[in-house]
Structure formats: structure tokens, C-alpha cells
């Protein structure tokens, strides 16, 4: 069959979906490309929602993956504000919209992303309880932070992960009082471990954020629909005018599950299980971005990666695989964050328990350094903090799996490139 007779359907209009559509066209696909998304906004990038856009430093227009006219120009059939509620693998159709429109696909890409986990405590239906995933959430939160800053109000954030901390930084910049509640002993515990988590705690404390570690939020106390306080399981009550639930995200696998596609084990983060070509257990269906769980032989596991770069590169890789190009997706996890005047990038994968040493190169006190998570002399991951243009050698070090001299690794006078065999 020639391209022109084929229909490729993309479900999900986040970055992975937008980039997959773009790649299909740049790779010369001339068939129908249909992109369906339940959000009304054109596909956009989410990182600014907790940083520049939230702070009012970036315009709304700057977050979009493409300008609106781009889709028609590239003959992408866009269905916004429409939910896909069924995939029939035998008939090769997807059903979407209120009227149950059916469209037939030759290849299907599921890039349905993730959704914020909900707090399961009394009080979550109060008007001052927020989540942050969508542009509309960020628009609302921006107004909330500005008002809290103006009125000396209190924001309680449940969760000291990336989004919780970035919003804490933004809220402090607006002048709001901020309290963060986190069951683990440090911020970012599951990603960075305690050693580097402490650094983020200090950074935020210096900027006036209050932390309560080792406790859980048990109730959001309100009156007449208004938030008054957040209660924790140690019996404390923390004053609050607004509460942000930033307790992680869950992959949106319902559609794939109902279609009988293989789902990765929950202990590995769940998600739609794909092979190294981003193909699901159905050879005509692919998945990428936050919702996909792909094998990473370097670490001997499969991973679900909830980061911008994985959507940016995974969408195009899936598109190439759908076109039958020889594509192996084995990118190292990479992410970045900005909080106050600290900027960082992290490459690799080193959850607590996987490393035996953290090696610091540079001045951690001045927050200008690279941290390496090392196991038996091999670098599993590296994080550069306010040090730039080192991602490539860090990734090469991780990929090499070479045993390195940790004294040389810690010495800023030894070029990183020299440590890569
Ligand atoms: C506030 C915030 C800040 C972030 N900051 C950073 C950062 O600094 N650095 C970093 O590396 N990463 C960051 N991330 C993570 C990054 O944005 C995500 O990894 C990325 O958005 C994933 O893209 P995606 O296309 O896989 O999924 P998504 O962006 O979630 O897109 C999926 C889309 O599919 C839609 N959809 C789902 N199911 C259906 C259905 N059945 N029918 C129709 N449509 C459907 C969803 O509504 C959504 O629009 C941040 C995320 C958030 C929320």
C-alpha cells in the first residue's frame, strides 16, 4: 500500500503527539494524519507552566509546540476538545467525540500522557485546592499566587517533587507564604536520594519556604467552601488559603488497558509496555512520552520517563517506527529544572539503593557543581547545577559503563571528556 492511502491516528496532543505529527510530514508521509486531543488548546509544552509562564515572564503564545496555522498547512487533521473513548483493534478503529465518530487507522500512536494524582483526604473538593498539569490550571494558579502574594496569604504544597518545588519557588517570588508537606525525609528523595535532596531543602529554606518532612496531609480544613488549613498526621494544623496537590502523576493507560494492550508492572512505574521500537503488544499500535514504558538495556530495566525530552524525542522516534524506518529508542532519561537562580540538568537513572557513592565536582556550597551517582566506580547519573554545556560528556560517561577514577571525577581540573574511554 502506498503512503497516500494510509491513515495514521495520534491520540493525545501533548508534545509527543505534536512532534510525532511533525515528523510524519518531515519524513515525507503523504497519507492522512489525524490528531485527537481532549484539551481545547493546541498542543503545548508543559515546563513553562511551573516556571516562566507561572511567573508571568513568558507569554501564553510562547508555550505552543506549533502556531495554530501550522496544522492546516501540513494537512494535519486536528480534533481538539474531543476524547477518544475506545480503540477496536480488530476493526482498527478509534471512537471519539460526543457523537462517537469512528475513524479507521492503519497505524495508531497513543501519546495520552499522564494526569496528576489526587489527594484522597477530606476537603479536596474545596475551591482553593489545585493541581497543575494543564495550561488552564497554570492560568488559574498564576492568579492565585499573585493574590496570595498581595495579601500575605499562605500556600500549602503537598509533595516536594519537581513541580511542588518549582511552584514553591514561584509562590515565594510572588511573596506568598509557603509550607511544603512531604512524607519522605528530603525533597526529591526518590530521584536524587538524601544527599542532593538536602541541597534543595537548603535552597528553599533560604528563600523562606517552610518544610515538614516525614508527615502526610490528612485533611484540608475548610469553612463555607473556603480553605482554612491543612492538617497532617502528626496532629499539626498548617494555615492555608490555598493548597496545591503535587504528589506525582499517573500514566493515562485506561484506553490501552480497555483495548487489551500489555501494561508494564506497577513496580516499574506502569505505563503502556512498548519494545525498543516503541511498539506496543499490538504491532500496529505505538506509544511514546509519559505514558510509555520502554526497555533501557543499559540499566537492565524498563522505564517510564515523565520528562520533556522524552516526549520531544520519543514522539518523533515512534513516528519513524510507524513509517517502518529502523528506529531504536534508547535515550538516557534527561530533565531540567529552574528554581530561583538555580538551574540544573540531570542525565541517567540512579534511584536510592542503586548507587554506593555520590561524587561532587565543584563547589556545592556555591551551588556550582556536578554531582555523579556512582556504583562500583561506574557513573549511573550526573546532575549539573549552574554549570553548563556538560550534558554530552556526562551522558557519554553513563553510557560507557566504564569504571572511573573517582578522584579524577571529583577534580574540576580533569576534563570530563578525558574520563570517557
Ligand atoms: C507543570 C509541569 C512542569 C514540567 N516541567 C518539566 C521540566 O522542567 N523538565 C522536564 O523535563 N519535564 C517537565 N515536565 C514534564 C513534561 O512536561 C512531560 O513529560 C510532557 O508533557 C509529556 O508529554 P506527553 O506528550 O507524553 O504527554 P502530555 O503532555 O500529558 O499530553 C498528553 C495529551 O493527551 C491528552 N489525552 C489523554 N487521553 C486522551 C484521550 N483518551 N483522548 C484524547 N486526548 C487524550 C491529554 O489531555 C494531553 O493533552 C513538566 C510537566 C508539568 C505538568
> What order do you get walking across the sheet with 285-287 strand by strand?
76-80, 32-37, 7-11, 107-110, 285-287
pLDDT at 119 over 90: yes
Distance 334 CA to ligand 1 centre (A): 15
In Å, how far are 41, 162, 164 from 191, measured between CA atoms? 31, 10, 14
pLDDT in the model for residue 148: 98
> What order do you get walking across the sheet with 84-88 strand by strand?
84-88, 93-96, 101-104
> 177: closest CA among 118, 230, 252, 135?
230
> Atom 20 of ligand 1 has which residue's CA nearest to it?
308
- For the chain, what is the mean pLDDT? 97
Distance 132 CA to ligand 1 centre (A): 11
DSSP string for 158-198: E--SHHHHHHHHHHHHHT-EEEEEESSSSTTHHHHHHHHHH
The residue whose CB lies within 8 Å of the most ligand 1 atoms, and thus the one to mutate among 9, 11, 13, 14, is 14
Contact between residue 417 and residue 226 where contact means Cβ atoms under 8 Å apart: no
Confidence tier at 315 by pLDDT (50, 70, 90)? very high
Tell me what the mean pLDDT of segment 240-266 comes to: 98
Give the residue carrying C-alpha cell 561532587: 360
Kindly state if the Cβ of 382 falls inside 6 Å of ligand 1. Answer: no
pLDDT tens figures, 22-55: 999 999 999 999 999 999 999 999 999 999 999 9
Q: How far apart are alpha carbons 241 and 226 in whole angstroms? A: 8
pLDDT in the model for residue 312: 98
pLDDT in the model for residue 4: 87
Confidence tier at 400 by pLDDT (50, 70, 90)? very high
pLDDT tens figures, 326-375: 999 999 999 999 999 999 999 999 999 999 999 999 999 999 999 999 99
Report the share of the chain in percent with pLDDT over 90: 97
Distance 65 CA to ligand 1 centre (A): 12
pLDDT tens figures, 170-220: 999 999 999 999 999 999 999 999 989 999 999 999 999 999 999 999 999
pLDDT at 1 over 90: no
> 10: closest CA among 331, 259, 333, 316?
316
Confidence tier at 3 by pLDDT (50, 70, 90)? confident
pLDDT at 325 over 80: yes
> Atom 45 of ligand 1 has which residue's CA nearest to it?
12
pLDDT in the model for residue 232: 98
Q: How far apart are alpha carbons 378 and 84 in whole angstroms? A: 45
Contact between residue 302 and residue 293 where contact means Cβ atoms under 8 Å apart: yes
pLDDT tens figures, 130-157: 999 999 999 999 999 999 999 999 999 9
> Atom 19 of ligand 1 has which residue's CA nearest to it?
307
Q: How far apart are alpha carbons 380 and 395 in whole angstroms? A: 9
Kindly state if the Cβ of 50 falls inside 6 Å of ligand 1. Answer: yes
pLDDT in the model for residue 348: 98
Please report which helix (H) or strand (E) contains residue 26, including its range.
helix 15-26
Number of Cβ within a 10 Å radius of residue 343: 15
Query: Helix/strand/coil (H, E, C) string of 362-382?
Result: EECCCCEEEEEEEECCEEEEE
> Atom 38 of ligand 1 has which residue's CA nearest to it?
112
pLDDT in the model for residue 2: 55
> 116: closest CA among 346, 306, 258?
306
pLDDT in the model for residue 346: 98
Distance 162 CA to ligand 1 centre (A): 14
Tell me what the mean pLDDT of segment 234-251 comes to: 98
Q: Which three cell numbers stand for residue 353?
A: 539503593
Q: Which three cell numbers stand for residue 147?
A: 493574590
Q: Which three cell numbers stand for residue 351?
A: 534511584
The residue whose CB lies within 8 Å of the most ligand 1 atoms, and thus the one to mutate among 46, 110, 117, 269, is 46
Distance 53 CA to ligand 1 centre (A): 16
Amino acid at each position: 500500500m502506498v503512503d497516500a492511502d494510509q491513515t495514521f491516528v495520534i491520540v493525545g496532543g501533548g508534545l509527543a503527539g505534536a512532534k510525532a505529527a511533525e515528523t510524519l510530514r518531515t519524513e515525507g508521509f503523504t497519507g492522512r494524519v489525524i490528531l485527537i486531543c481532549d484539551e481545547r488548546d493546541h498542543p503545548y509544552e508543559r515546563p513553562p507552566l511551573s516556571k516562566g509562564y507561572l511567573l508571568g515572564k513568558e507569554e501564553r503564545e510562547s508555550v505552543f509546540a506549533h502556531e495554530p496555522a501550522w496544522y492546516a498547512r501540513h494537512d494535519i487533521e486536528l480534533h481538539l476538545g474531543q476524547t477518544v473513548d475506545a480503540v477496536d483493534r480488530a476493526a482498527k478503529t478509534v471512537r471519539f467525540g460526543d457523537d462517537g465518530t469512528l475513524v479507521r487507522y492503519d497505524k495508531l500512536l497513543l501519546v495520552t500522557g499522564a494526569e496528576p494524582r489526587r489527594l484522597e483526604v477530606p476537603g479536596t473538593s474545596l475551591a482553593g485546592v489545585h493541581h497543575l498539569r494543564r495550561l488552564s490550571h497554570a492560568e488559574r494558579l498564576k492568579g492565585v499566587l499573585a493574590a496570595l502574594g498581595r495579601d500575605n496569604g499562605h500556600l500549602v504544597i503537598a509533595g516536594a517533587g519537581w513541580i511542588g518545588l518549582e511552584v514553591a519557588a514561584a509562590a515565594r517570588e510572588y511573596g506568598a507564604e509557603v509550607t511544603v508537606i512531604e512524607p519522605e525525609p528530603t525533597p526529591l528523595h526518590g530521584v536524587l536520594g538524601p544527599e542532593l535532596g538536602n541541597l534543595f531543602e537548603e535552597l528553599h529554606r533560604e528563600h523562606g519556604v517552610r518544610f515538614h518532612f516525614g508527615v502526610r496531609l490528612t485533611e484540608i480544613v475548610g469553612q463555607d467552601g473556603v480553605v482554612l488549613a491543612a492538617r497532617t498526621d502528626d496532629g499539626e494544623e498548617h494555615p492555608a488559603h490555598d493548597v496545591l496537590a503535587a504528589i506525582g502523576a499517573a500514566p493515562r493507560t485506561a484506553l490501552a488497558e480497555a483495548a487489551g494492550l500489555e501494561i508494564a508492572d506497577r513496580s516499574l512505574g506502569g505505563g503502556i509496555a512498548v519494545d525498543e521500537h516503541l511498539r506496543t503488544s499490538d504491532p500496529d499500535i505505538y506509544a511514546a512520552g509519559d505514558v510509555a514504558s520502554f526497555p533501557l538495556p543499559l540499566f537492565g530495566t524498563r522505564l517510564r520517563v515523565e520528562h520533556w525530552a522524552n516526549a520531544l524525542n520519543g514522539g518523533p522516534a515512534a513516528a519513524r517506527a510507524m513509517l517502518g524506518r529502523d528506529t531504536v529508542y534508547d535515550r538516557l532519561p534527561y530533565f531540567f529544572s529552574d528554581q530561583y537562580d538555580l538551574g540544573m540538568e540531570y542525565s541517567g537513572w540512579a534511584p536510592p539503593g542503586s548507587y554506593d557513592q555520590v561524587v561532587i565536582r565543584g563547589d556545592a556550597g556555591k551551588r556550582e557543581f556536578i554531582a555523579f551517582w556512582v556504583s562500583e566506580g561506574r557513573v549511573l547519573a550526573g546532575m549539573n547545577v549552574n554549570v553548563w554545556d556538560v550534558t554530552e560528556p556526562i551522558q557519554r560517561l553513563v553510557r560507557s559503563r566504564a569504571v572511573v577514577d573517582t578522584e579524577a571525577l571529583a577534580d574540576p581540573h580533569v576534563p570530563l571528556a578525558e574520563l570517557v574511554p
